[in-house]
Amino acid sequence: MVPRYSRPLMVAIWQDLNRYRIWFEIEALAAEAMVATGDVPAEAAAAIRTHGGAAIAAMTEADVTKIADIEAVTRHDVIAFLTWLAEPIGPDSRFVHLGMTSSDVLDTCLAVQLTQATDLLLQGIDAVMAALKKRALEHKLTPTIGRSHGIHAEPTSFGLKLAGHYAEFARNRARLLTARTEIATCAISGAVGTFAHLDPRIEAHVAAHLGLAVEPVSTQIIPRDRHAAYFCTLAVIASGIERLATEIRHLQRSEVREAEEFFHPGQKGSSAMPHKRNPVLSENLTGLARIVRGYALPALENVALWHERDISHSSVERVIAPDATITLDFALNRLAGMIDKLTIYPDRMTENLESLGGVVHSGEILLLLARSGISREDSYKIIQRNAMATWTTLGHPDAKRFRDHLLADPEVAGRITPEAIDTAMNPNLHLARIDTIFERVFQE
Amino acid sequence: MVPRYSRPLMVAIWQDLNRYRIWFEIEALAAEAMVATGDVPAEAAAAIRTHGGAAIAAMTEADVTKIADIEAVTRHDVIAFLTWLAEPIGPDSRFVHLGMTSSDVLDTCLAVQLTQATDLLLQGIDAVMAALKKRALEHKLTPTIGRSHGIHAEPTSFGLKLAGHYAEFARNRARLLTARTEIATCAISGAVGTFAHLDPRIEAHVAAHLGLAVEPVSTQIIPRDRHAAYFCTLAVIASGIERLATEIRHLQRSEVREAEEFFHPGQKGSSAMPHKRNPVLSENLTGLARIVRGYALPALENVALWHERDISHSSVERVIAPDATITLDFALNRLAGMIDKLTIYPDRMTENLESLGGVVHSGEILLLLARSGISREDSYKIIQRNAMATWTTLGHPDAKRFRDHLLADPEVAGRITPEAIDTAMNPNLHLARIDTIFERVFQE
Amino acid sequence: MVPRYSRPLMVAIWQDLNRYRIWFEIEALAAEAMVATGDVPAEAAAAIRTHGGAAIAAMTEADVTKIADIEAVTRHDVIAFLTWLAEPIGPDSRFVHLGMTSSDVLDTCLAVQLTQATDLLLQGIDAVMAALKKRALEHKLTPTIGRSHGIHAEPTSFGLKLAGHYAEFARNRARLLTARTEIATCAISGAVGTFAHLDPRIEAHVAAHLGLAVEPVSTQIIPRDRHAAYFCTLAVIASGIERLATEIRHLQRSEVREAEEFFHPGQKGSSAMPHKRNPVLSENLTGLARIVRGYALPALENVALWHERDISHSSVERVIAPDATITLDFALNRLAGMIDKLTIYPDRMTENLESLGGVVHSGEILLLLARSGISREDSYKIIQRNAMATWTTLGHPDAKRFRDHLLADPEVAGRITPEAIDTAMNPNLHLARIDTIFERVFQE
Amino acid sequence: MVPRYSRPLMVAIWQDLNRYRIWFEIEALAAEAMVATGDVPAEAAAAIRTHGGAAIAAMTEADVTKIADIEAVTRHDVIAFLTWLAEPIGPDSRFVHLGMTSSDVLDTCLAVQLTQATDLLLQGIDAVMAALKKRALEHKLTPTIGRSHGIHAEPTSFGLKLAGHYAEFARNRARLLTARTEIATCAISGAVGTFAHLDPRIEAHVAAHLGLAVEPVSTQIIPRDRHAAYFCTLAVIASGIERLATEIRHLQRSEVREAEEFFHPGQKGSSAMPHKRNPVLSENLTGLARIVRGYALPALENVALWHERDISHSSVERVIAPDATITLDFALNRLAGMIDKLTIYPDRMTENLESLGGVVHSGEILLLLARSGISREDSYKIIQRNAMATWTTLGHPDAKRFRDHLLADPEVAGRITPEAIDTAMNPNLHLARIDTIFERVFQE
């Protein structure tokens, strides 16, 4: 976790205080459930809730240190916490954690933390979607050149570009909801998942109060395929961030200049070159995406634990659970702000669109020629010939535009009228169905 | 694709013949849809269907070679195919692919192939689940030791182990269904996704006939976050295979010997050591899982294509789409057979369960002591002391079992009766709630 | 392995025939070494060499099939081969593989195949370096704009760009040589590496004749950290290919047009847009790089085998050893050809260099101002102000160039002469030390 | 960076204070070099060294905060530092960073930090090697069973196992030294690497004083293939840690019990099961290895930056440079301590070795039979038959050992004497060449 790439809200979820609060809640809920199963006297459960709850509410960093000191001896984090908790609760503390195993607490706590983190991530996606939608509607009919292979293809609208990213983030949102369901389970099933010393009603009670589902079959732990699926989902979302960031980086290139990240007053782009305004946010997002992707791998390797569990997943999760969610949370919010404030240059889009002498309309001309009765093969050759002639003289003082090359070509001249060519070369032709697509995207 | 790890059914999906059949179907359906939009004469669409269909039906490897030869000149695979297809169709071939771009065909075809592949994978998962369920029910109450950290923990049942894996594959099945939906979309939207030369009804028609959804907004291509999510799902499934394979490898260890892969008559385990029977299928599955996991990465890197598309994803998909699905398909089917024929040794399970002198019941004794009024902390120390005494003398001629150590301990003796200890040490105690768990797992 | 991305020379290394030839060579060499150790009669070793060698020399696909049929029964590849080999050799075949274990043959064979593959890869790197050097020298002093963050920074030369890639491939060459040493070891040490039934002189003999080093300590197998390091090296090289491919893709962008992949006569860039000439080779190389990178992961996961070995690495290597080397070999050769035939547009480079009104010289002007006695901070502000004024009016009919903005700025005017500005804005200033750098790069 | 898995020495390398100290050193050295090139007055260089040096020596966290505050405005870290540094230096501060670009400082600083980190890692490897060597020599001739596929194969010595890991760490050491050379370069070459405003002698001077090599050709930055190779090397080392940790985890399994991590007095293995002593260090190391491996990927994706550089690598490196080195440093030191204090049970090794009734000697018997004139094929069948008979009756009250099965087999009886069998079954046979191997390993 690098403070530079962290938001406090997400960081707080992964701090010791939050973790201990959740641990306590699990223990208190379990004790309360055990009253019903006859394992714990009602007074004891009440004492746990009252005295333990008070201690937790008053918990400070000093307590965190105290627990760490106990752990240095016991070498066991949950036992250290329970030892600390025993003091305020007193003799009834022997009813805390009764028949439970550490993983009952640890894994259920991780589920709660991950759902809290996911809820923040969903807000981040919502912010990205809101920014994309706003700018997409704003530029719904702003013509711009579409590019495949980095080469001008056919006109499109800038809003449509953004709509595509919006749709991707809508998918990412749905994926994240699914991933949230994956990891939102509770297991209070004992040392090897048999409920030997624990009535399943305890699990059900704790799950219900924490907003979790019951894990149908746990071993000692909640199975890690759930977490692997979760972190893979974060990796997919990160890749979507990179796709959008890459688009902006391209648009801001000096030769393109169709969009530009907001440049703050006082900002310096380069210590050596005062003229620079760099797409540093997008580049940063590209790097953050790589980081989040990297965390999917250890999560996948965590699945094949030995027998009823080994603890190799634990160190991995201590690192990647905070780091992946904190980084992605930061990236989503940075992205939302960047899109929201993006400077967009429609004039420059038009300029670029027209910069290749009109060859970008070759597809429409191909259809015209084909309709005139020439075979597809021959039409293609004729148009390719004229397009290349246009292309290779771009920038020459006496360069002809594609339209003029075509009209001068005897195989074209007799078959297509100048008016037909002009119609075919109207960029608005390409905007006719933007509405239809926008309805698909934004009304779902 | 290594023949050794491939099943013909899956291989066929990725062969040129299947691909060309799907390409043709897309072109024919598109032409038929264009009759309704007025772009193609009904006779032309009929000619395409009839003559093109006949050519496709009669297609052989010689045609595949012919198309490859054309591609060597045009350096464009779809144009090569269309050139080949033009001959049997004749002049009406100019109505084939009208206003479409190659990706309309390629991406929709990939969607069809991936859904075909997924359907086979789902069958593979079903086979694994069937085998797991059969063996789980068979050994529902076969006692065996549960292990955490590779160390004996508490008794469980062998059926419960398998039920856990069944539940994981049930989750994998659900994930794969979601992943199937992710990639089952159709785009016939033209060079940059604007439908400039194509009525959206064409896309709808083709999609409906191919069992695909319409892609809400495509660029030139179907967005690759869908495929990234798909291959990540395969990676998660592969990791589940590895988890089960790892379990079997552990159980077959010489020191454990609780289960064993079926050893074929005539099989040789080692060229140098005739006594060997190795868990080679499980080890093989472990390796195959690594391979499938490795394919998720390039799929994730494929997401951030440039602008409306670049073609860097294509080489990746030519490799990983067949290789990942073929490998996973093979692995699932190998796994199903392996579980189905697994030799299971219940006697050896009992023997291992009892091999540590009874210390595996320390958890239950801890509860007994705690109920007798000793603090959790003190109970723990007493039991740990006796368990360690038992453990460190294991195998000694005059070794005492845990029960006897406990009864000889003055802090225990007065508080717990021998009968209570014997009750606590009955493995069946741990099987009491297996039914409940099985209901959760198998009745969903 | 996809034929489209494979060269026959590399494919042959991984075919069964080559593998069996190497297996035989190892067995024959081992038998010959065992004559010296007294384990094998000289006549037997001679019979193995003569009759076995003849059979191997005459080996056809029919034999490959025959061995596969035997393996279907024995389920053991080496035993199947030895059974096939026993027939031509006759009774002396009992001296083949004496005291050896399969891995002695398999691992040493893999070492030979990997060294053969590496030698081809080194040729590929040499071809890339030769092409880069040729074009770098050709364009040593061709001015072009250097870009950081995709934004024009300062002038550089096109040759220098290529020299940087040359230096990277020189590093890659050195890495690959190191990686070759890593995997070029021989182990003939028996079932668990103790040489129990094998004199170490046998290993030394085989190693020497195969050009391999002796593995200091093997278990049953050659340790897999060697192979992990090897495949990671391929991943680094692949990433270098991607960096160069990415540069070309950028240069070919429609807005940049400074370089272009050779476009074959008859080639078609797009089925729908006849005007397209796309950087498809570079994009393809980008995808191939992703594929090769993906193979590093399973290689890393192969390291931690169980005890003296498990066979989970085997399926991984059957896939990635051929696939990674074949793909990288193809990529290197495609890259070499692409660079060699790259069309370069120096005029367009100059045009782009000048397109931002001269702001790309802001760094030199900053030094001028600083030398004139203004603080760095203030100099920066003055120049940034003028650069932004230039930038934001780019393309306007009455736009002033950076030079003119500066001269009109009262804080600049008195301090720097127009001549000093003109000197500072001479692109050749940036080429003065290219020679020095070229000496560093090309004379090593 | 998780404090739990961090050592202060390594953490300090990555803290702001160390970074600013190195930045200053680079700036001061550069200014001193510029005296020789005539760019900076000697007095100014002295002032920078004296006043700047004093400020750096007195730097506190308050200064770090002050710089952060400046960066919040300039949004540029190096400019923020230079602004802070200007104050103590006074007017001569305009000679700081003269003609340099931020990356000259940042990349050279990263090189220094990585070499510092690498030196610590090398110490960690040395500690691991020392522990392995000590224990290997101690158990050079301790017989233990070698296992392939988890199945008993043939005897080996416990020292030989450790010697194999020692040899792997010796390779890892060599790799790390190579990786150190990879990243130990200095670039002071200006905005796009042309030395336009910087004499190359400045770079040479700074490099020499920092113990770095000169980067032959930089762009704006040091090329990132170097760092990719570096982090891949860390991944390989991590995998070696996992291999050794996996071995220990296996040996500590309840059924094996041949070795055990040191169990601290007061340590608790499980909150619910007082009898547990778990190999938690080894499991933890397994997880840490996964984490370090995961960092190799973003490093590989960092290579293909755009043109002369983009800054996407920066966020990646801010995370993985500290996190990968801190985690690996912690893991190496944990591993060294774990091996050093490992409890080893030779008696239990012997017990396990003999537990399969002697079938582990089947290889030696195979050689005996083959020497007696029976074909390899037939010998194999005879021995396999007897080994399986032994194996399947293991643990039965009237079970015969392999030796007795063989002697009762008429096809064996006439050919091999009981004495010959006994000789073949002596485990010491397998220890005869341990010395030879130890010489190879430990005398290099």
Q: Please state the separation of Cα B435 from the chain's center in Å.
A: 27
**CA–CA distance, D437 with B20 (Å, rounded to integer):** 59
Partner-chain contact B256 D257, CB within 8 Å? no
Q: Which domain holds residue D413?
A: 359-424
Kindly state whether residue D64 falls inside one of the protein's structural domains. Answer: yes
**The last residue of a domain, from among D59, D81, D98:** D98
Structure tokens at A356: 């290749």
| pLDDT score, position C444 | 55
Among candidate residues A249, A251, A278, A252, the one with its CA nearest the CA of residue A263 = A278
Instruction: Looking at the structure, tell me whether residues A14 and A52 fall in a common domain.
Output: yes
Q: Residue A437: which of B217, B303, B440 has the nearest Cβ?
A: B217
Kindly state whether residue D202 falls inside one of the protein's structural domains. Answer: yes
Q: With bands split at pLDDT 50, 70 and 90, how would you rate the model's confidence at B444? A: low
Determine the distance in angstroms separating the CA of C317 from the nearest CA of chain D, rounded to an integer: 17
| pLDDT score, position B269 | 80
pLDDT in tens, chain C (444 residues): 788 999 999 999 999 999 999 999 999 999 999 999 999 999 999 999 999 999 999 999 999 999 999 998 888 899 899 999 999 999 999 899 988 999 999 999 999 999 999 999 999 999 999 999 999 999 999 999 999 999 999 999 999 999 999 999 999 999 999 999 999 999 999 999 999 989 999 999 999 999 999 999 999 999 999 999 999 999 999 999 999 999 999 999 999 999 999 988 778 888 788 899 999 999 999 999 999 999 999 999 999 999 999 999 999 999 999 999 999 999 999 999 999 999 999 999 999 999 999 999 999 999 889 888 888 788 889 999 999 999 989 888 889 999 999 999 999 988 899 999 999 999 899 999 999 999 999 985
Instruction: Looking at the structure, tell me whether residues A65 and A119 fall in a common domain.
Output: no
- pLDDT, one tens digit per residue, over A84-122 is 999 999 999 989 998 899 999 999 999 999 999 999 999
CA-nearest residue to C282 within chain B is B312
Kindly state whether residue D433 falls inside one of the protein's structural domains. Answer: no
Strands D151-157 and D143-148 turn out to be: antiparallel
Instruction: Looking at the structure, tell me whether residues A236 and A307 fall in a common domain.
Output: yes
CA-nearest residue to B257 within chain D is D151
- Chain A residues in contact with C155 by the CB 8 A cut-off are none
**CA–CA distance, B253 with C307 (Å, rounded to integer):** 11
Partner-chain contact C290 B302, CB within 8 Å? yes
| pLDDT score, position C271 | 77
CATH number, domain with residue C389: 1.10.40.30
Residue A444, pLDDT > 70, answer no
**The last residue of a domain, from among B79, B98, B117:** B98
**CA–CA distance, B19 with B110 (Å, rounded to integer):** 8
Q: Residue B284: which of C197, C302, C315 has the nearest Cβ?
A: C315
Instruction: Looking at the structure, tell me whether residues B152 and B199 fall in a common domain.
Output: yes
| pLDDT score, position D444 | 55
Burial of D103 (0-12, 13-18, 19+ CB in 10 A): buried
CA-nearest residue to B148 within chain D is D278
Share of chain A above pLDDT 90, in %: 86
3 state DSSP class of C147: strand
Partner-chain contact C239 D190, CB within 8 Å? no
Neighbours of chain D (3+ CB pairs under 8 A): A, B, C
Higher per-residue pLDDT: D376 or A328: A328
Kindly state whether residue B442 falls inside one of the protein's structural domains. Answer: no
**The last residue of a domain, from among A98, A113, A132:** A98
- Chain D residues in contact with A80 by the CB 8 A cut-off are none
- pLDDT, one tens digit per residue, over D307-318 is 999 999 999 999
- Chain D residues in contact with B352 by the CB 8 A cut-off are 254-255
CA-nearest residue to B368 within chain A is A99
Q: Indicate which residue of B76, B270, B315, B372 is catalytic.
A: B270
3 state DSSP class of D169: helix
Q: Which amino acid is at A118?
A: T
Is C426 an 8 Å CB contact of chain D? Answer: no
Instruction: Looking at the structure, tell me whether residues A117 and A82 fall in a common domain.
Output: no
φ, ψ of residue B301 in degrees (nearest 5): -70, -15
| pLDDT score, position B160 | 98
Instruction: Looking at the structure, tell me whether residues B123 and B37 fall in a common domain.
Output: no
Partner-chain contact A293 B300, CB within 8 Å? yes
**CA–CA distance, D17 with B83 (Å, rounded to integer):** 68
- pLDDT, one tens digit per residue, over A411-442 is 998 889 999 999 999 989 999 999 999 999 99
Q: Residue D280: which of B149, B297, B387 has the nearest Cβ?
A: B149
| pLDDT score, position A85 | 97
Instruction: Looking at the structure, tell me whether residues C236 and C309 fall in a common domain.
Output: yes
- pLDDT, one tens digit per residue, over B282-338 is 999 999 999 999 999 999 999 999 999 999 999 999 999 999 999 999 999 999 999
pLDDT in tens, chain D (444 residues): 788 999 999 999 999 999 999 999 999 999 999 999 999 999 999 999 999 999 999 999 999 999 999 998 888 899 899 999 999 999 999 899 988 999 999 999 999 999 999 999 999 999 999 999 999 999 999 999 999 999 999 999 999 999 999 999 999 999 999 999 999 999 999 999 999 989 999 999 999 999 999 999 999 999 999 999 999 999 999 999 999 999 999 999 999 999 999 988 777 888 788 899 999 999 999 999 999 999 999 999 999 999 999 999 999 999 999 999 999 999 999 999 999 999 999 999 999 999 999 999 999 999 889 888 888 788 889 999 999 999 988 888 889 999 999 999 999 988 899 999 999 999 899 999 999 999 999 985
Instruction: Looking at the structure, tell me whether residues A91 and A132 fall in a common domain.
Output: no
CA-nearest residue to C367 within chain D is D99
Q: How many CB pairs under 8 A join A and B?
A: 312
Is A192 an 8 Å CB contact of chain B? Answer: yes
Instruction: Looking at the structure, tell me whether residues C367 and C391 fall in a common domain.
Output: yes
Among positive and negative, which fits the CA dihedral A48, A50, A52, A53?
positive
Instruction: Looking at the structure, tell me whether residues B6 and B152 fall in a common domain.
Output: no
Is D294 an 8 Å CB contact of chain A? Answer: yes
Kindly state whether residue B296 falls inside one of the protein's structural domains. Answer: yes
Kindly state whether residue B444 falls inside one of the protein's structural domains. Answer: no
Share of chain A above pLDDT 70, in %: 100
Total domains present in chain B: 3
Provide the ipTM: 0.96
Q: With bands split at pLDDT 50, 70 and 90, how would you rate the model's confidence at A265? A: confident
Partner-chain contact C252 A360, CB within 8 Å? no
Determine the distance in angstroms separating the CA of D150 from the nearest CA of chain B, rounded to an integer: 5
Q: Best interface-test mutation with D: which of B147, B254, B295, B402 has the largest number of D CBs within 10 A?
A: B254
**CA–CA distance, B412 with B397 (Å, rounded to integer):** 25
- pLDDT, one tens digit per residue, over A180-215 is 999 999 999 999 999 998 999 999 999 999 999 999
3 state DSSP class of C357: coil
| pLDDT score, position B266 | 75
CA-nearest residue to A253 within chain C is C150
Share of chain C above pLDDT 90, in %: 86
Instruction: Looking at the structure, tell me whether residues B288 and B324 fall in a common domain.
Output: yes
Is C375 an 8 Å CB contact of chain A? Answer: no
Q: With bands split at pLDDT 50, 70 and 90, how would you rate the model's confidence at B420? A: very high
Determine the distance in angstroms separating the CA of D4 from the nearest CA of chain A, rounded to an integer: 9
Chain position carrying tokens 């193609």: B40
Q: Residue D315: which of A284, A301, A310 has the nearest Cβ?
A: A284
CA distances from D227 to D178, D303, D306 (A): 12, 8, 16
CATH number, domain with residue B67: 1.10.275.10
| pLDDT score, position A168 | 98
Q: Best interface-test mutation with D: which of C236, C309, C364 has the largest number of D CBs within 10 A?
A: C236
Kindly state whether residue B92 falls inside one of the protein's structural domains. Answer: yes
Instruction: Looking at the structure, tell me whether residues A51 and A132 fall in a common domain.
Output: no
DSSP string of D172-194, one letter each residue: HHHHHHHHHHHH-EE----TTSS
CATH number, domain with residue C130: 1.20.200.10
Q: Mark residue C266 as left, alpha or beta (left: phi above 0; alpha: psi -120 to 50; beta: remaining).
A: left
- pLDDT, one tens digit per residue, over A370-411 is 888 888 788 889 999 999 999 989 888 889 999 999 999 999
| pLDDT score, position D34 | 97
Kindly state whether residue A367 falls inside one of the protein's structural domains. Answer: yes
CA distances from C249 to C254, C258, C334 (A): 10, 10, 15
- Chain B residues in contact with C101 by the CB 8 A cut-off are 270-273
Strands C343-344 and D143-148 turn out to be: unpaired
Q: With bands split at pLDDT 50, 70 and 90, how would you rate the model's confidence at B43? A: very high
